[in-house]
């Protein structure tokens, strides 16, 4: 096993998700994950403090991309237009590996209460990051919070549809997340 093989982090995530799906989260050990990924246990711990953190791999990057997109939206952009800019920025960073991983990750999360809790905390964190970015643009707190929550919901809905679609690689995640945001915008307008 090579200590510093390229792609070790990605291989660890893929191995963990596969093992969580095959045998359950609780029954999967760090040693098994490392072995499946072809790395040492110490390499695992260089990338992740524990197996729970595998599911939020990339969360910091996702938060950063969302907030950068919001911050860089034109000054005249509405809160939802700024969220759309964040979604577009973050979605652009998701490629074939993310799409391949999505159905397996969904199955693993569905099978474990602990992973469901971790996934919910991830959503809360993403909404908080978008809300803070909107407040920094001068958006009132309540409006920023609502727009941030809609942004998370749009991302999750768009990501789900994208990951379940054809694997021909011609459709980008951004189109799905932006379409989901448009649907949510229309739905919220109908609330009256």
What lies within 8 Å, CB to CB, of 108 at 6+ separation is 17, 20, 21, 25, 55, 115
pTM: predicted TM-score of the whole model, two decimal places: 0.81
pLDDT at 7: 82
Which pair of structure tokens corresponds to residue 163? 């990951």
pLDDT at 33: 94
C-alpha pair distances (Å), 97 with each of 101, 104, 126: 6, 12, 21
Mean pLDDT, 10 residues at a time, the chain of 192 residues:
62 87 88 94 91 77 92 96 96 80 82 85 93 97 96 94 73 91 93 81
Number of H helices, E strands in the chain: 9, 0
End-to-end CA distance of the chain: 60
């Amino acid at each position: 096993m090579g200590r510093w093989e390229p792609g070790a982090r990605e291989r660890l995530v893929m191995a963990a998700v596969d093992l969580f799906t095959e045998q359950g989260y609780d029954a999967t050990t760090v040693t098994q994950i490392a072995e499946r990924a072809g790395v040492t246990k110490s390499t695992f711990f260089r990338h992740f403090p524990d197996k729970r953190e595998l599911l939020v791999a990339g969360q910091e990057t996702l938060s950063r991309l969302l907030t950068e997109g919001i911050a860089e939206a034109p000054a005249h952009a509405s809160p939802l237009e700024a969220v759309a800019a964040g979604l577009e920025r973050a979605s652009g960073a998701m490629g074939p590996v993310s799409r391949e991983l999505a159905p397996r990750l969904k199955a693993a999360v569905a099978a474990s209460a602990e992973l469901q809790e971790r996934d919910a905390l991830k959503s809360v964190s993403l909404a908080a990051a978008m809300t803070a970015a909107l407040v920094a643009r001068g958006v009132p707190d309540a409006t920023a919070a609502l727009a941030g929550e809609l942004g998370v919901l749009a991302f999750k809905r768009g990501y789900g549809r994208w990951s379940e679609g054809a694997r021909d690689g011609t459709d980008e995640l951004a189109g799905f997340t932006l379409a989901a945001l448009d649907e949510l915008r229309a739905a919220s307008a109908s609330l009256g």
